[in-house]
Amino acid sequence: MTQKIIEDLEIEIAGLEKILRSKKLELKNLRESVLTSPPKANKRLTKEDIERFSRQIIIPAIGCKGQMALTAASVLIVGAGGLGCPASQYLTGAGVGCIGLVDYDDVECSNLHRQLLHSEESIGMPKVSSASEALKRLYSKTNIVEYKTQLRSSNALDIVSKYDVVVDATDNVATRYLLNDACVMLGKPLVSGSALRLEGQLTVYNYNGSPCYRCLFPKPPPPETVTNCGDGGVLGVVPGVIGVLEALEAIKIVLGWTGVLSGQLLLFSAESGTFRNIRLRGRNPGCDACGDAPTITSLIDYEQFCGTKATDKDTALKLLAREQRISPETLNEIFICKKKGLLIDVRNSEEFDMCAIPHSINVPLKNIDDPSTVNKIKGLLQNDDSHQENLSVYVVCRRGNDSQKAVLKLQEILRDQNLVICDLEGGLHAWSKKIDASFPVY
């Protein structure tokens, strides 16, 4: 009898647990759909809204109608870095109802000079979480949707389709084409900015009949001609300026203002403190994406199309054979301990001035085949007695990619010299990891 009651109870509990699981799933799905759906437009501004946004509501071009449009608007920001931080900060400040943030990356120390939503405490955190926390501190009612993912062909249409305006705050060409094509297919305006060193650019694609990115650049640039902030550097203020202006263009689109920067390119020079506006070519009727007979009707493989990755994560080149590469340990033993060989650092001079292996010499990759450089290397090899027995040239760079390119060039230039020319595998990053922990990794 008791056994029967136990069995019945077990069956009943199993049934209840099943219901509980399905209710939990239902709740989770509902929560996610609330999170990823932009809020419905408010019919009226609340007392709190009026007090908070009064300084912009009283501008005739905005008014209550404009503020309600901002509250009802949703803007997707792809990239929570140098451009995405200021853009999202000002859009949140302006009261944009829903902001989607897409970024696959975590906060690094070298981001902090320009990505000011992140702070020392957020190092190692996903950028989207760190940015979202900062934005919610600014405006707790704001709806921030975090996508800790890489925007790629498989998810772009789904994510982009949920938003009214898209802001490109990324740093690579493959994502630019991806965003362009997704926005063209979905009829979304694309605010696009870029910043490098002391210069920035800004325009709006695919808005009211204006050209799209492909109309202007049907073919991607050769990968070797593209420089990112990690390699070329950037003054923090420059993406700050451009990111804020991206927010401005998104706001103007939401408010339906004329004067949106479409069909024009804004060029900002931090050095001369100037802004220039140049008119762009009109929409190209033959454009593969937005033309009269588009050939791109679904998203393609953009990394393949551009010949580059859609992330700036290190890709390790393999240009040299195993025996043409040495480890940090071997370099340390031969060059530092035995003081043999010549160590050439092929980074640019600013990087070399920041940090370098003692007694290495600096020959930037771009100058490696200058006649003066060749003579300098030959001179050093001849003058230094310690090199006579063991004529070895070691090449180092930041991550071990440029050093391989340099070895190939040096082998060609110095082929009459009977030298062994190798590079340090993994570059100065590996040196810091294996030999000298005090060596800065940047």
Ligand X SMILES: Nc1ncnc2c1ncn2[C@@H]1O[C@H](COP(=O)(O)OP(=O)(O)OP(=O)(O)O)[C@@H](O)[C@H]1O
> CA–CA separation, 29 vs 39, rounded Å?
17
Give the phi and the psi of residue 75 in degrees, each rounded to 5: -125, 130
Contact 424, 431 (CB under 8 A): yes
Q: Give the count of residues interacting with ligand X (CB under 6 A).
A: 25
Catalytic residue among 183, 306, 397, 422: 397
Q: Considering the complex, state which of residue 102 and residue 331 has its C-beta at the smaller distance from ligand X.
A: 102
Closest contact distance (angstroms) between CB of 103 and ligand X is 4
Q: Is 397 a catalytic residue?
A: yes
Closest contact distance (angstroms) between CB of 313 and ligand X is 9
| 55: its two tokens | 């300084």
Contact 211, 279 (CB under 8 A): no
**Per DSSP, what are the bridge partners of residue 264?**
279
Determine which residue in the list 89, 143, 175, 206 makes contact with ligand X, applying CB under 6 A: 175
All residues at 6 or more sequence positions from 172 whose CB lies less than 8 Å from its CB, including other chains: 226, 228, 308, 309, 310, 311, 312
Instruction: Please choose, out of 33-41, 54-62, 94-102, 281-289, the segment that lies near Zn ion by the rule CB under 5 A.
Output: 281-289
> CA–CA separation, 426 vs 308, rounded Å?
20
- On whether 111 is known to bind a ligand per the annotation, the reply is yes
Q: In terms of DSSP H, where are the helices of 106-209?
A: 127-138, 156-160, 173-186
Determine which residue in the list 144, 166, 229, 242 makes contact with ligand X, applying CB under 6 A: 229
- The sign of the dihedral angle between the CA atoms of 67, 191, 284, 310 is negative
Decide if residue 171 touches ligand X (CB under 6 A): yes
Q: Considering the complex, state which of residue 119 and residue 311 has its C-beta at the smaller distance from ligand X.
A: 311
Decide if residue 104 touches ligand X (CB under 6 A): yes
Contact 139, 227 (CB under 8 A): no
Q: What would you measure as the largest C-alpha separation in the chain, in angstroms?
A: 102
All residues at 6 or more sequence positions from 398 whose CB lies less than 8 Å from its CB, including other chains: 347, 351, 427, 428, 429, 442
> CA–CA separation, 97 vs 164, rounded Å?
11
Which of Zn ion, ligand X, none has residue 215 at its interface (CB below 5 to 8 Å by kind)? Zn ion
Which of Zn ion, ligand X, none has residue 287 at its interface (CB below 5 to 8 Å by kind)? Zn ion
- Sequence length of the chain is 442
- On whether 287 is known to bind a ligand per the annotation, the reply is yes
Sketch the per residue contact string, 294 through 313, with ligand X: x for CB under 6 A, - otherwise: ----------------xxx-
Sketch the per residue contact string, 128 through 157, with ligand X: x for CB under 6 A, - otherwise: ----------------------xx------
- The sign of the dihedral angle between the CA atoms of 254, 257, 259, 262 is positive
Decide if residue 80 touches ligand X (CB under 6 A): yes
Which of ligand X, Zn ion, none has residue 432 at its interface (CB below 5 to 8 Å by kind)? none
> CA–CA separation, 211 vs 285, rounded Å?
9
Decide if residue 127 touches ligand X (CB under 6 A): yes
| Residue closest to 421 by CA, chosen among 354, 348, 371, 368 | 368
Closest contact distance (angstroms) between CB of 117 and ligand X is 11
Sketch the per residue contact string, 172 through 211, with Zn ion: x for CB under 5 A, - otherwise: ----------------------------------------
Closest contact distance (angstroms) between CB of 45 and ligand X is 34
Contact 81, 104 (CB under 8 A): no
Give the phi and the psi of residue 59 in degrees, each rounded to 5: -75, 125
Catalytic residue among 183, 229, 306, 422: 229
Q: Which residues bind ligand X (CB under 6 A)?
A: 78-82, 102-105, 110-111, 115, 127, 150-151, 170-172, 175, 228-230, 310-312
> What residues line the site for Zn ion (CB under 5 A)?
212, 214-215, 287, 289-290
- The set of catalytic residues is 229, 397
Q: Enumerate the known binding-site residues.
A: 82, 103, 110-114, 127, 171-172, 212, 215, 287, 290
Binding residues for Zn(2+): 212, 215, 287, 290
Binding residues for ATP: 82, 103, 110-114, 127, 171-172
